[in-house]
Amino acid sequence: MKSKLLLVFCLILNFAYSQTYKPFPADSANWGFYMTSPTGPSYQKEIIKGDTLLGGKNYHKVYNQTNTLLGFYREFAKKIYAKVIFYADTSEILIYDYNLNVGDTFYDKRTDLSITFKYKYLVTSITTTSLTLDSRKQYNFSFEGYQGPVSSYSNLGGACNFYWIEGIGSLKGVFNNRAAIIEGTECYQAALISNASFSTLKCFEHKNVQYMSQSCLTLSNKEFNDSYSLNIYPNPTNEFINIDLGNFSETKKYDLKIINLLGQNVIEDKIENKINISTLKNGIYFLHLYDRENLIATEKIIKE
């Protein structure tokens, strides 16, 4: 009897969880990102400030920390639609769909200055994210290729596996990396606001409620630059890279991943002072440094 009651209780909890959807914020929200680019690391913010009518539909306006309008989004039936300032495609774009289930396909419409095509992604699993203080679903995707003609831009990069967080969006920006002229992928061009190489979501707040372990108010360029002192050399290299942790704690055990432009892990191990990359093909790679599961630093490697 007790086992039956426990089973019923678990089913009720599972049903309740499955019915609890967290929508995108409609006002008073902040997203904070650490970014690295060819010009160095920086802190960027995306902020909802007011609404506007476009084509008879109500959109929320998103600005950056310098009060530059980035674009507009609206939510309908668990789908997030956007119009992005200066993006080559001026139509309304579906950027998130939280109705998807495992095994479903999402076609992410992309454009450059000459053609329109789509990235094809497959939902591989739906889990509970570990990034937020509350319980939110995380939609995990794998890259399945392209639909339509492929962009001729060589720096578009390779698409890769990524995930969305319910009610928050991408780790790379609300508008899912659509740069002003030449966009990037979920992994290698961080966001509209900086066209950076990497971006990591560090904070999310809505109506003064903090939903991640760090507050957006505590993030700053100085804080990031003070902590971001990972150094690798020689670079370019054809065999070994030396890793200087700078003022990262040498008593901690860090993990590293070296990733190619297709988003594939080519080396994954505990961090050492010297890493042999002689077996890798010539090209550009990215070294990710992790403290447990948190990405804390990124450096570009050129293998010659």
243 and 194 both lie in a single domain: no
Domain for residue 7, yes or no?
no
63 and 79 belong to one structural domain = yes
Last residue of a domain, one of 164, 197, 222: 222
119 with 252, same domain? no
Domain extent at residue 183: 20-222
Please report, rounded to a whole number, the percentage of residues in the chain having pLDDT higher than 70: 68
Residue 3, domain member (yes or no) = no
pLDDT digits (tens, 9 = 90+) for 47-88: 999 999 999 999 999 998 878 888 999 999 999 999 988 777
Domain identity same for 162 and 296: no
Let me know how many helices (H) and strands (E) the chain has, helices first. Answer: 2, 20
**Mode of pairing for the β-strands spanning 69-76 and 79-84:** antiparallel
pLDDT average, residue stretch 27-49: 78
Using one digit for the tens of pLDDT, what is the confidence trace for 114-132?
677 787 889 999 999 988 9
**Residue 37: its pLDDT value, please?**
54
* pLDDT given at position 165: 94
Q: Has residue 271 got a pLDDT over 80?
A: no
Decide if pLDDT at 226 tops 50.
Answer: no
Interatomic CA distance for residues 229 and 300, integer angstroms: 14
Higher per-residue pLDDT: 12 or 149: 149
**pLDDT value of residue 292:** 62
Asked if the peptide bond before residue 234 counts as cis, ω within 30 degrees of 0, the response is yes
14 within a domain of the structure (yes/no): no
Domain tally, the chain = 2
* pLDDT, mean over the chain: 76
pLDDT tens-digit map of 157-208: 445 667 899 999 987 788 876 654 334 445 443 333 333 346 678 899 999 8
Question: What mean pLDDT is predicted for residues 42-47?
Answer: 82
Q: Residue 4 falls within a domain, yes or no? A: no
179 and 196 assigned to the same domain: yes
The answer on pLDDT for 107 being more than 60 is yes
Residues 205, 234 within the same domain: no
* 106/188 same-domain check: yes
Residue 167 and residue 278 in one domain:
no
At residue 160, the pLDDT reads 61
- Clarify whether residues 90 and 177 are in a common domain: yes
101: helix, strand or coil:
coil
Considering the domain architecture, whether residues 190 and 58 belong to the same structural domain is answered as yes
User: What is the C-alpha separation between 10 and 3, in angstroms, rounded?
Assistant: 11
Q: Which pTM value belongs to this model?
A: 0.64
Q: Do residues 30 and 159 share a domain?
A: yes
As a 3-state breakdown, the chain gives helix, strand, coil percent values, each rounded to 5, of 10, 45, 40
Residue 1 lies in a domain: no
Quick one: pLDDT at residue 272? 75
- Is residue 161 included in any domain, yes or no? yes
Residue 11 lies in a domain: no
Q: Which pLDDT tens digit goes with each residue over 281-300?
A: 888 787 777 766 556 666 77
CATH of the domain at 243: 2.60.40.1930
Which of 163, 193, 222 is the last residue before a domain boundary? 222
Are residues 298 and 199 part of one domain?
no
Query: Which of 175, 200, 222 is the endpoint of a domain?
Result: 222
